[in-house]
Amino acid sequence: MTDKKPELSAAMKKRVEPKVFKKNPILGTRYTIAISSAKGGVGKSTFATNLALALKQTGCKVGLLDADIYGPSIPKMFGIEEKPKSDGQKLDPIIKYDIQCMSIGFLTDQQTPMIWRGPMVTSAIKTFTQKVNWKDLDFIIVDMPPGTGDTQLTFSQEIKMDGAIIVSTPQEVALLDVKRGIKMFDKLGVKILGLIDNMSFFIGDDGKKYSIFGEGGVKKTADEFNKEFLGEIPIDPEVGKLGDKGKPIVESNPENQISKIYLNIANKIKKDFSN
């Protein structure tokens, strides 16, 4: 009898060893930041657009990539109706408010449903990260779709991601998905820059604070997973109205209190990456 373990064959070793993905940066960009929610309907796209504009206000050159293939929001929120130009090899981003933008919504009719299987979504994402003429960007903000599916995997495994921000409302049903999102990014080795409590409360005409979706849940989740809590953004009907008009609040009303919150977050992120 011998205690010597049998040698693994080359084929068996290949199956046992975890696959190592080569992560490529998005050409023309310095830092890539994903805005994720895991749960739909929590204001992720509103956050992504206004954060991009706030970073621009700090003096950064910024791009905005709408990676939500099934539900692109950037064309509406930026008021863009034109189609990007192409030289047959690459697409030129559309520039609005000094932000370089790209979205599947620029290439299709607004009411056309994207009835695509996973490989087609992955192919579109690769086009937007490899075949767009992004130019000299300090940051590219990626508006991710809800959930933990093909788009998240493609970005996390194949694209050099410098960080992710998770947006949520305080209610428990949203936080359940947030926890799954945190675990996904941790497992895939993507640094979580912090959590945002969006639509955290509403100030009524009587001046009182109303916590419509609960209170403190996002901060509690951040503490539970040892992640940074980046702050609260209250509900303001003006944010939705301006977004529907294609004029995000940070751009159209920079003195608004919510615009100042976004600017504080942007300054913090810029500082984190300049250290």
Q: Is the pLDDT of residue 3 over 70?
A: no
Which tokens hold the place of 9? 């064959």
pLDDT at 185 over 80: yes
Which domains occur in the chain, in start order?
29-274 (3.40.50.300)
Does the pTM exceed 0.75? yes
Instruction: Count CA within 13 A, CB hemisphere, residue 176.
Output: 2
Q: What's the pLDDT tens digit per position in 125-144?
A: 888 888 999 999 999 999 98
Amino acid identity for residue 8 in this structure: L
| Cα gap 192→183, rounded to integer Å | 10
Instruction: Name residue 72's beta-bridge partners.
Output: none
Q: How confident is the model at residue 176 (pLDDT cuts 50, 70, 90)?
A: confident
Residue range 231-274, pLDDT digits in tens: 999 999 899 899 999 999 999 999 999 999 999 999 999 998 88
For 45-82, the pLDDT digits (tens) are: 999 999 999 999 999 999 999 988 887 889 999 999 99
Pairing of strands 137-143, 229-235: unpaired
Q: What is the pLDDT of residue 23?
A: 77
User: pLDDT by residue (tens digit) across 198-228?
Assistant: 988 878 777 778 777 777 889 999 999 999 9
DSSP β-bridge partners for residue 60: none
